Amino acid sequence: MIVVTGGAGFIGSCLVKMLNDKGVHDILIVDALGTTAKWKNLVGKHYLDVVHKSAFHRELLEGEYGAEIEAIFHLGACSATTEQNADYLLENNYRYSRDLAEYAEARNIRFIYASSAATYGAGEAGYSDRSTKNLKPLNMYGYSKQMFDEWVLRSGLESKFVGVKFFNVFGPNEYHKGEMASVIAKSFRQVQETGVIRLFKSYRSDYGDGEQKRDFIYVKDVVETLYAMLCYGEISGIYNLGTGLARSWNDLAHAVFAALELPPKIEYIEMPTSLRSQYQYFTEADMSKFKETRIAKPFTPLEDTVQDYVREYLVKDYAHF
């Protein structure tokens, strides 16, 4: 049995589909559905059961599960970078992860978990996944992920586990995320409703408006990589997962308009004051360590992925998100 925490969420549900496509149905989904629309991400998927994250945690510690678990993809977390409750983030993103990791280590279970590019903060120490030294996350979400990465390293588990520092992932099944959805999904909605894409102004002289850059990666490339990490057990350690090529928000907006076959119309708006001190102007995954593995491959270019996402999913699903 393969456990996927956060299995009804964005990346988790896409991973479940990938596993299904590979003929794997022996999957336990762990999540907290609540009153969100995440349940829609499970429609059409094949799995054994859906267990609430609190119940799974309790049952795990009480010994309800045994040798049937062969791998855990720990993708569940509070991913809101604007979350202010530090105690909640510590409990949900750090302590919960630590309990699952200790369980997996004691039973020699393959453990692949989600870290985040948010651990790099503004990037003063670069974006290399070869060290966690001198990293300064800009928000508590990033710090909670950094805490778990450092615990893995202190515990000597880097040689057994796989940590994945996701950069800017986008794609289908993110519709429930609201304000935390990708700018692509939000831009598509803006075009449909107003004909205009709104981007934040720059507050640094070295970046023009809309020229702030991110490393955008399509969720299809992400889940293919996660599946490969499952298949090749010799792969371990903490890895970046981005394309390794930063692109600007303007590039992204133009790609959305091109996918819709519309002329670009971009408006630059003020960034909320509360975000300005936490804002990353540039992120780009250093993929050199990943390229040394046997699963390394080129990722799909931004324009091609945006076209696929817009035409094959957003246009068809617009009425449902």
d(CA 186, CA 73): 28
Torsions phi, psi for 189 (to 5 deg): -60, -40
Residues in Cβ contact with 94 at an 8 Å cutoff, skipping those fewer than 6 apart: 144, 147, 148, 151
Torsions phi, psi for 204 (to 5 deg): -125, 140
Q: Give the strand pairing for 2-5 and 110-116.
A: unpaired
Active-site entry in 145, 177, 213, 220: 177
Please report, to the nearest 10 degrees, the dihedral formed by the alpha carbons of residues 131, 237, 100, 141 taken in order.
40
Token pair for residue 38? 């995440």
- Tell me the H-state helices in 90-139: 96-106
Task: Count the neighbouring beta carbons within 10 Å of the beta carbon of residue 303.
Answer: 15
Residue with tokens 């893995």: 152
Active-site entry in 141, 218, 227, 309: 141
Chain center to CA of 194:
29
Is 141 in the active site? yes
Torsions phi, psi for 101 (to 5 deg): -65, -40
Token pair for residue 13? 């549900």
Token pair for residue 39? 């349940």
Q: Is 300 helix (H, G, I), strand (E, B) or coil?
A: coil
Angle 177-318-226 from CA coordinates, rounded to 5°: 50
d(CA 273, CA 269): 12
Q: Which amino acid is at 139?
A: N
d(CA 150, CA 258): 42
Which residues are catalytically annotated?
A: 141, 177
